C-alpha cells in the first residue's frame, strides 16, 4: 500500500511513502547465488562512483562493551548515487564467542531508505550481503592488482570462516584456479573443516593445512587474511620476501613494519587510517601517510602504477556504500520477481495532524 503525502510548501509535488518490506536471508542467497560476476562488476562500479564523489560514506561507528571487550556492533551509514540511488545503514555485530556455540560470529541487518522521503523501505538480512560485497571487493582487487604481475597459482587462507569461504567462491566464479591452496587457522577443527569444504567444491588444487602461519605465508603467492584479530600478530617481514599479493581483509593482522616494507593499496585512505587498523598504526609510527600508494579506484583508472619488487598489500576497510549497492541490487531483483514480503501499515501515522 502506498500513501501519498502532500507538502503544504509545494503541493504540486506530492510524495509517496513507499511500502516497507522485509527481505530474509533465504531470498538474499537466492538472488546472489550464481551472480558473483555481476556483484564484482557492481562493486567495481561503486568504487568508481565513490572515487568520483558521488557518494556519502561517513566514518563507521563502533559500539563496544566494557564487559565483553572481544565483541562489537558497528553502524555503517552510507549513500550512493549513480544508477544505484539509495541511502541507508548497515548494523553488523561481531561476537567471536559465538563460534564455540556453533553459530556464526557475525550477524547483520541492512536498512534501505527512500531518497525522496527518507522513509525506510526495506529491512534486509545482511550477513550474506556483507560477505558477498567483501568477497567481491577481494576478487576485484586480486584481479586488478595481479594484471601486471600475473595471476598467482598458490593461495593461502589465514582464517577460515564465512568470509574466507565467500572469497574462495568469488575467486572460483570469476575464473581463478590454483595449483595449491594452503589453510591455517588457530582452530585445527576449523582448518580441517575448511579443507573439507575446498575438496567438496571440486577444486583440482592440492589442499594443505599448515601448522603455523610462517609456512602458509612463505608457500603462497596470494595470501588472504580473514581473521578476527584485534591487533597485529604477523611481524616478520622476512616471511614476505617472495613479494606475494596480500588481501588484508581483516585489517589488523600485519604489523606496521610489514606494511612499511610493502606497496599499499587501500579502498579509502581516510577510512583505513583509523580505528586501530594496521595502516592506522603504521601512520602513527612514522607520522605520515607516504607509505600509502593509492586506492583500488586509482589502480582501476590507471592513475598509479605498481612496483613488482615488494609485497603488495590490499587493505579494504569495507565501505558502507558497497553494502548499499549490493543490498539495493538484491532488493530490486526480489521486487522484480514479485516476491517482496511487504509489511502492511508498518507506518501507521501518516497524517501530519492526525
Inside any domain, residue 244:
yes
Residues 156 and 211 in one domain: yes
- The per-residue pLDDT for 27 is 97
Whether 259 and 313 have beta carbons less than 8 Å apart is answered as: yes
Residues 310 and 327 in one domain: no
> pLDDT tens for residues 295-333?
999 999 999 999 889 999 999 998 999 999 999 999 999
22 burial (CB, 10 Å; 0-12 / 13-18 / 19+) is middle
Residue 152 resides in a domain = yes
Same domain membership, residue 169 and residue 260: yes
Max distance between CA atoms of the chain, in angstroms, equals 70
Same domain, 122 and 178: no
Is residue 225 in a domain? yes
Q: How many CB atoms lie within 10 A of CB 58?
A: 13
C-alpha distances (whole Å) from 282 to each of 138, 297, 307, 312 are 22, 22, 20, 16
Please give the C-alpha separations between residue 335 and each of 23, 25, 88, 122, 328, in angstroms, as whole numbers: 10, 15, 18, 11, 10
Together in a domain, 118 and 165: no
Give the tens place of pLDDT for each residue, 156-214: 999 998 899 999 999 999 999 999 999 999 999 999 999 999 999 999 999 999 999 99
Residues (pLDDT < 50) of the chain are 1-11
Give me the pLDDT at residue 354, please: 64
Q: Is residue 148 part of a domain?
A: yes
DSSP, res 62 = E
Q: Does any domain span residue 161?
A: yes
| Helix extents (H) in 59-202 | 127-145, 162-173, 188-200
Q: What is the pLDDT of residue 105?
A: 84
CA distance 101 to 96: 10
In a shared domain, residues 263 and 332? no
Task: Count how many Cα atoms sit within 13 Å of the Cα of residue 327 in the half-sphere of its side chain.
Answer: 34
What's the grid cell of residue 206? 592440492
Give which of 280, 271, 277 is closest to 318, Cα–Cα: 271
Residue corresponding to grid cell 586480486: 142
Residue 16: predicted pLDDT: 86
| Residues 229 and 288 placed together within one structural domain of the fold | yes
C-alpha distances (whole Å) from 73 to each of 12, 76, 252 are 43, 10, 17
Partner residues linked to 154 by β-bridges: 180
Name the grid cell of 237.
617481514
Number of domains the chain is built from: 2
Strands of the 263-266 sheet, one edge to the other: 206-209, 180-184, 154-158, 222-225, 245-248, 312-315, 263-266, 292-295
Cell for 108? 547483520
Residue 18 has phi, psi (to 5 degrees) of -70, 155
Any domain includes 347:
no
- Which of 120, 67, 119, 112 is closest to 90 using CA atoms? 112
Q: Are 194 and 185 in contact (CB under 8 A)?
A: yes
Contacts of residue 3, Cβ cutoff 8 Å, sequence gap at least 6: 16, 17, 347, 350
Q: Is 191 in the same domain as 173?
A: yes
pLDDT at residue 351 in the model:
76
CATH, residue 53:
3.30.1780.10
How distant is the alpha carbon of residue 316 from its chain centre? Answer: 7
pLDDT of residue 237: 98
* Nearest alpha carbon to residue 47 among 314, 350, 331, 342: 314
Residues 179 and 303 in one domain: yes
Q: Residue 303: how many CB atoms within 10 A of its CB?
A: 11
**193 and 166 Cβ atoms separated by less than 8 Å:** no
pLDDT of residue 182: 98
In a domain, 65, yes or no: yes
Q: Do residues 93 and 71 lie in contact, with contact meaning Cβ atoms separated by under 8 Å?
A: yes
Do residues 199 and 125 share a domain?
no
Bridge partners, 327 (sequence order): none
Number of other residues whose CB lies within 10 A of the CB of residue 241: 12
pLDDT of residue 99: 83
Examine residue 205 and state whether it is found in any structural domain, yes or no.
yes
Residue 316 and residue 249 in contact, taking contact as beta carbons nearer than 8 Å: yes
Q: Are residues 114 and 154 in the same domain?
A: no
Do residues 198 and 171 make contact, with C-beta atoms less than 8 angstroms apart? no
Location of C-alpha cell 603467492: 221
298 and 152 fall within a common domain:
yes
Q: What is the pLDDT of residue 11?
A: 47
Q: Domain containing 155 — which CATH number?
A: 3.40.50.720
Domain span at residue 277? Answer: 137-318
Amino acid at each position: 500500500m502506498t500513501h501519498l503525502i502532500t507538502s503544504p510548501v509545494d503541493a504540486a509535488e506530492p510524495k509517496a511513502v513507499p511500502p516497507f518490506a522485509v527481505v530474509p536471508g533465504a531470498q538474499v542467497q537466492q538472488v546472489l547465488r550464481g551472480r558473483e560476476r555481476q556483484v564484482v562488476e557492481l562493486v567495481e562500479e561503486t568504487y568508481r562512483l565513490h572515487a568520483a564523489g558521488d557518494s556519502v560514506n561517513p566514518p563507521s561507528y563502533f559500539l563496544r562493551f566494557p564487559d565483553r571487550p572481544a565483541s562489537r556492533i558497528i553502524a555503517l551509514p552510507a549513500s550512493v548515487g549513480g544508477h544505484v540511488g539509495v541511502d541507508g545503514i548497515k548494523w553488523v555485530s561481531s561476537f567471536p564467542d559465538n563460534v564455540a556455540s556453533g553459530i556464526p560470529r557475525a550477524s547483520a541487518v541492512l536498512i534501505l531508505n527512500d531518497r525522496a522521503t527518507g522513509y525506510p523501505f526495506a529491512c534486509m538480512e545482511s550477513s550474506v550481503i556483507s560477505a558477498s560485497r567483501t568477497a567481491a571487493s577481494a576478487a576485484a582487487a586480486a584481479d586488478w592488482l595481479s594484471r601486471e604481475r600475473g595471476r598467482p597459482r598458490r593461495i593461502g587462507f589465514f582464517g577460515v570462516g564465512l568470509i574466507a569461504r565467500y572469497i574462495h567462491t568469488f575467486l572460483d566464479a570469476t575464473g581463478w584456479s590454483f595449483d595449491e591452496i594452503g589453510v591455517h587457522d588457530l582452530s585445527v577443527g576449523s582448518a580441517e573443516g575448511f579443507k573439507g569444504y575446498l575438496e567438496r567444491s571440486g577444486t583440482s588444487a592440492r589442499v594443505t593445512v599448515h601448522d603455523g602461519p610462517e609456512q602458509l605465508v612463505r608457500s603462497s603467492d596470494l595470501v588472504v587474511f580473514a581473521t578476527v584479530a584485534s591487533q597485529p600478530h604477523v611481524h616478520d617481514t622476512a616471511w614476505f620476501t617472495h613479494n606475494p599479493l596480500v588481501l588484508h581483509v581483516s585489517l589488523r593482522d600485519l604489523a606496521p613494519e610489514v606494511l612499511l616494507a610493502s606497496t599499499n593499496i587501500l579502498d579509502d585512505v581516510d577510512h583505513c587510517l583509523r580505528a586501530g587498523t594496521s595502516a592506522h598504526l603504521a601512520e602513527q609510527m612514522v607520522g605520515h601517510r607516504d607509505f600509502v600508494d593509492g586506492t583500488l579506484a586509482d589502480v582501476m583508472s590507471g592513475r598509479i602504477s605498481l612496483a613488482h619488487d615488494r609485497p603488495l598489500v590490499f587493505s579494504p576497510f569495507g565501505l558502507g556504500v558497497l553494502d548499499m549497492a549490493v543490498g539495493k541490487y538484491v532488493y530490486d531483483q526480489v521486487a522484480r520477481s514479485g516476491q517482496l514480503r511487504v509489511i502492511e501499515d508498518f507506518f501507521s501515522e501518516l497524517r501530519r495532524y492526525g
